[in-house]
Structure 1
Amino acid sequence: PALCFLTGTCDLMERDNHTWVSEFTFQGFSSFREHQIILFVMFLALYVFTLAGNVVIVTIISVDRHLHTPMYFFLSMLSASETAYTLVIIPKMLCNLLGLSRPISLAGCATQMFFFLTLAINNCFLLTAMGYDRYVAICNPLRYTVLMNKTACIQLVGGACSIGLIVATTQVLAVFRLPFCATKVAHFFCDIRPVMKLSCVDTTANEILTVIISVLLILVPMGLVFISYVLIISTILKIPSAQGRKKAFATCASHLTVVVVHYGCASIAYLKPKSENSRDQDQLISVTYTVITPLLNPVVYTLRNKEVKEALLRATGRKLS
């Protein structure tokens, strides 16, 4: 197969005299077997709401000229990325909950892992770009249009996507060069650590690589956002009017809420010691960042954002007219 040739797995299998595993099955939520239907209905409802909400955000930003600003450009890119992110994982998970799951091929598992990592990393750096946008808007308002021009915004989005592609390619090639002896993934999608546990050989080198990449890709963007908000808050506190301070804080509240939850979940999932949580607890954390976190965009940016709500009212009013 093409993936086998690409990663060199076939040669490694023959050399180490291991059986070639061609497909995996997901263990899924086997500990909650009696609640599978309830979980299916709950996750399906959240998934539909997430898809609908993110599609509405992307649509309303593209059609309403009042939202054609760098901040909402980044928000539309984040919503589009979150939509693709959920499409990679949740449909397969819902099939598993209904008992309709089929084995996933080695190439299919590698593909799912590749797109999951690419989009997850892309989301991290898009949030960082949004933090930089808020920093420039509040701390350097006179230079905002110069620093956050169309070219700069496209470059920031392109950089976020490029980092995701490079790191995902590196991780997937490293994982799928391993020989696999087991086929049951103790998870509901092809995440890095559950797949590596199926290997026949020592995966210490891969685990070290995963930890290093996780630390860099979580702590670096999170640190940049933290520095941005330290500078933002120090600038806001210098504003003499209470109304001005309130308005400045309001422009950052939605983004800060998403950042705290997003990086918080990612830190717990990938920076915690391996033995700290059981498999069920790991799955609960994974559900948080694969199902709940993508829901934050439509909830936070529509319920808490005055400009988006006004744009929705304008679009609804035009349609009714």
Structure 2
Amino acid sequence: MNQPHPNGPKPARITAGRIGLYTFLVAAALFFLLPLYTMVVTSLKSMDEIRLGQIFALPATLDFSAWVTAWSGACMGTVCVGIRSGFWNSVAITVPAVAISVFIGAVNGYALSLWRPRGANALFGLLMAGGLIPYQIFLYPMVRAMANIGLYNSLAGIIIVHVIFGLPLVTLLFRNYFVSVPEELCKAARVDGAGFWRIFFEIMLPIAVPMVVVVSMLQFTGIWNDFLLGLVFAGRDNLPMTVQLNNIVNTTMGERTYNVNMAATILTAILPLAIYFLSGRWFVRGIAAGAVKG
């Protein structure tokens, strides 16, 4: 019988604490995955099978007709075009809003990291406190302002609203990241003749790539999952996917089609989930880098 090499890795000891930890992790994973499992299996069942009430049972046959209906045939009131148009509306809203807010927030964070007069931290804290105020307080003034400049119920209007509400958090994250960058880098660049923008694009922004990933993912998820601002500011022709999902779920003709509702819900959430699954390690690296620098 082969004996383990004395200098080799020691086998992990099975202790009560380790068993308890893994038991908790498995239970937590099952707790969070159970609703997703229920949604998926329900979306693949026919209505006759759903009426049997066996909510956790696997479908007898895989039926993707509910997914097709949810994408291109589900009814929102009297209009039965599915959630497809809402998907492209959400893309048209989210992509430019994320890009603009991340860029402006990075510039703001860079500028504020250089601005250090007496009382600057207190003033910065007051500015960031505005990001903690609930959206509902700003709705009426924002509606009036957007209506006065002709951007209410428009694609440009909802993009601007998301940029405005996202800037406090984005600026805070970038400022905390940039403030710990050694000043010698900027001083050396200034000696070589670099100005504000050249330092930002050639030095600060490449350094902040991990934070750009984190902020982009946070902004993308927040804007994509938004319901309130999209409902108020987007207008009927630009309703995002979340608003159209609500309209589909609350539209009933004859019977409530749970399989279609579940499929539409998964379609609405699948893009943010895919981004987190595919970019999760970059998100963790960015958070860790920001924590170390901050």
Q: Same fold per TM (> 0.5)?
A: no
How high is the TM-score relative to the length of structure 1? 0.29
| TM-score for both structures, normalised by structure 2 | 0.31
**In proportion to residue count, which structure has more helix?**
1
